[in-house]
Structure 1
Amino acid sequence: MRTKPTLSFTPIGPPLPRTRELGPVVELVAGGGVLVLSGAGLSTESGIPDYRGHAGSLRKHTPMTYGEFVGSADARRRYWARSHVGWRTIARADPNAGHRAVAELRRGGLVAGVITQNVDGLHQAAGTTSVVELHGGLDRVLCLDCGDVTARAELDRRLAAANPDFAHTTAEVNPDGDVALPQHLVDRFHVVDCSGCHGTLKPDVVFFGENVPRPRVELCNALVDRARAVLVLGSSLTVMSGLRFVRRAHAASIPVAIVNQGETRGDPHAAHRVDLPLGPALTDLARLLA
């Protein structure tokens, strides 16, 4: 049994060059026991933009922070108005070829687990089981007062009933389900409270500035420790919530491969860095390992 690694990381040199050759990743995954860590780049082919790619939403959109949300009724109105529109796009999104390839590798026993930084539920919709949603899921709503968790679809119906004249459509939605709305629409939007205790409702996701629940982090650490290899898919690893697992794997001499378009913060820890579109690359990977 592999002993639990310490987090005093071994020295690392400059990252290896990026390549468009998938062969080393095929060899790595063929051995099984692979833990997948996925990010927003995996969902771009489903019509959901990432945060930090060349057209990432952070270039023109500042996500809601936890402090803003809990500290201001106006901020909550702004969030729920925008999210009420954006949720329709998230709910209609279909898994793409990359999600389906991961599900196929999971069914084939090569992928031992999946940690996703995404909140769109597309891994599960593609048939992947036992997905750990690091940042939660937009399909659930949490009451900050009583702790009750309910379905987002039910809240969507309640918000529609409370805002019968509210109508807005958009072709562009952010990874957190937020959209841009004119202020006059936000100002007349009516927010609803928890149907049980009349407390404050929040999407069951980790906002910027909010910590991932400790039990969830510990579960992910255990998955890393049991893995034979870690495969990062479509994540820039800019935030520590995902990067820490790559660092943990590197410290334990667990090989890391990254398939992503563009550089990532985890590149110095990777044994293989592949710069390819996720859908075609993962489809080829699954086909070669079938």
Structure 2
Amino acid sequence: MRISVPGLPRAILDAQPVIAVKNIDEAVERVTNFLQGGNVGLITGAGVSVDSGLRAYRGKDGRYMNPNYKPIFYHELVDSSEKGKAFRRRYWLRSFLGYPHVRSTLPNTTHFAFAALQHTSYIPWIITQNVDGLHHKALELGAPSSWNLSRISDRILELHGSIHSVQCSRGHVIARNKFQDWLTRSNPSWHRFANDIARRSQKLRTNPDGDVDIEQLGVSYEDFVVPDCPTCLLAGHRNSVQKPGFVFFGESIPEAVKERALRCVEDCDRLLLAGTTLATYSAFRLLKHALEQRKPVMLLNVGPTRADGLSGIEKIDVATGTILPTIARAVIGRPAEEDLIIREMIQSGIVKPPPED
């Protein structure tokens, strides 16, 4: 079985960048005009979470830009053999150490600006490739009385799933916080190891999916314990085949999610893509669908993307955090100053990008 990590063609990476705007003011004006009419569909990628301290997969320091990086694939993670158990020990140890960082991460200025635009219905829905849940947090923190979990789930589609849940091979789903507690109880020595790192204020290199690189520490995965699913045990089955609630390489996106995403593109008047290289076909398919329907498309991303060179796309090569709060304020107009909730949303958000390697 041959599965590869989606990437950008060498020709795109080596191409000379196209200067899409002369300055920040022009970028603000063009994106503002694009959003002004409302009913804009939004697709986001890892780039919008960089200011929250999460690395983009394919940015300058992105894990997927390293040709030597070998991720665990779906068929390896769910393999019931001893080899599969070894893959699961490796994955869950790295995730055990990295998940607390992702869990504690806060929405940045881009998340809150998009939340304000969604709250005011300029952006009726968001499709995100991210599994971090930060779009959800921005709405929960920004307008808790208006956005309950049901409404948020209806308006934000997680194309690749969520890091905040875990599912066993028999379909039993639990919250990731609870699973983290199981891992802690099953691995007291690794819990002490994590606490020791925290006490020394060390930072492990954490990827957007919670995976951390610990090989350089010289540790072994052999003694890490992945607990059996308690629900399976009650039914008389020992089952440690558990995976996070997001789509792995080599795993298919559920058909219901694909169909819902296509309907979202069909229902919008225009499509904005932000912080994504579109390297994964799941998002690129949605862009192609919008172009086939002759919808106006704007791409806001720093650096090369899979869409570079395609006709019918207006590209702005500027970081979202640089311009989104200003754009949200301009698009929303007077309510951005007079409505307390909207004003605080636009003024909220952290700006703490991860340190360079």
TM-score (norm 2): 0.74
Equivalent in the alignment of 2:342: none
**In the TM superposition, what whole-angstrom CA distance separates every residue of 1:132-177 from its partner, at most 9, and x where no partner exists?**
00000000001112x1111000000010000011113433201221
Query: Displacement, 1:248?
Result: 0.2
Query: Structure 2 CA distance, aligned partners of 1:57 and 1:154?
Result: 28
Equivalent in the alignment of 1:51: 57
Q: Please tell me whether the aligned partners of residues 271 and 298 of structure 2 are also in contact (alpha carbons under 8 angstroms).
A: yes
Query: Structure 2 CA distance, aligned partners of 1:48 and 1:87?
Result: 12
Alignment of 1:19-34 (within 5 A): 19=21, 20=23, 21-22=26-27, 23-34=29-40
Q: Please tell me whether the aligned partners of residues 19 and 317 of structure 2 are also in contact (alpha carbons under 8 angstroms).
A: no
Equivalent in the alignment of 2:164: 139
Amino acid at match of 2:95: S
Question: Is residue 69 of structure 1 aligned with residue 77 of structure 2?
Answer: yes
**Cα-Cα RMSD:** 1.6
Distance 1:186 1:144, change over 3 A: same
- Bigger drift between 124-133 and 257-266 goes to 124-133
Bigger Rg, structure 1 or 2 = 2
What SS is found at the alignment partner of 1:165? helix
Query: Structure 1 CA distance, aligned partners of 2:206 and 2:311?
Result: 32
Query: Structure 1 CA distance, aligned partners of 2:213 and 2:223?
Result: 15
What SS is found at the alignment partner of 1:184? coil
What SS is found at the alignment partner of 2:315? strand
**Count of residues in correspondence between the two structures:** 275
Q: Please tell me whether the aligned partners of residues 262 and 275 of structure 1 are also in contact (alpha carbons under 8 angstroms).
A: yes
Query: Structure 2 CA distance, aligned partners of 1:188 and 1:110?
Result: 51
Structure 2: stretches of 5+ with no match in the other structure: 1-16, 141-151, 198-202, 233-237, 333-357
Equivalent in the alignment of 2:135: 123
Instruction: Report which of the two has the higher share of helix.
Output: 2
Query: Structure 2 CA distance, aligned partners of 1:157 and 1:111?
Result: 37
Q: Please tell me whether the aligned partners of residues 99 and 123 of structure 1 are also in contact (alpha carbons under 8 angstroms).
A: yes
Equivalent in the alignment of 2:242: 201
Equivalent in the alignment of 1:5: none
Distance 1:190 1:260, change over 3 A: same
Query: Structure 2 CA distance, aligned partners of 1:270 and 1:65?
Result: 35
What SS is found at the alignment partner of 1:53? coil
Amino acid at match of 2:85: A
TM-score (norm 1): 0.90
Query: Structure 1 CA distance, aligned partners of 2:265 and 2:126?
Result: 10
Q: Which residue among 285, 297, 301 is the counterpart of 1:244?
A: 285
- Bigger drift between 95-104 and 171-180 goes to 171-180
Structure 1: stretches of 5+ with no match in the other structure: 1-14
Alignment of 1:1-290 (within 5 A): 18-19=20-21, 20=23, 21-22=26-27, 23-60=29-66, 61-71=69-79, 72-127=84-139, 129=152, 130-145=155-170, 147-166=171-190, 167-168=193-194, 169=197, 170-182=203-215, 184-197=219-232, 198-199=238-239, 200-267=241-308, 268-290=310-332
Equivalent in the alignment of 2:14: none
Q: Please tell me whether the aligned partners of residues 95 and 122 of structure 1 are also in contact (alpha carbons under 8 angstroms).
A: yes
Query: Displacement, 1:269?
Result: 4.6
Percent identity of equivalent pairs? 35
Query: Structure 1 CA distance, aligned partners of 2:311 and 2:74?
Result: 30
Amino acid at match of 1:133: E
Query: Structure 1 CA distance, aligned partners of 2:102 and 2:291?
Result: 34
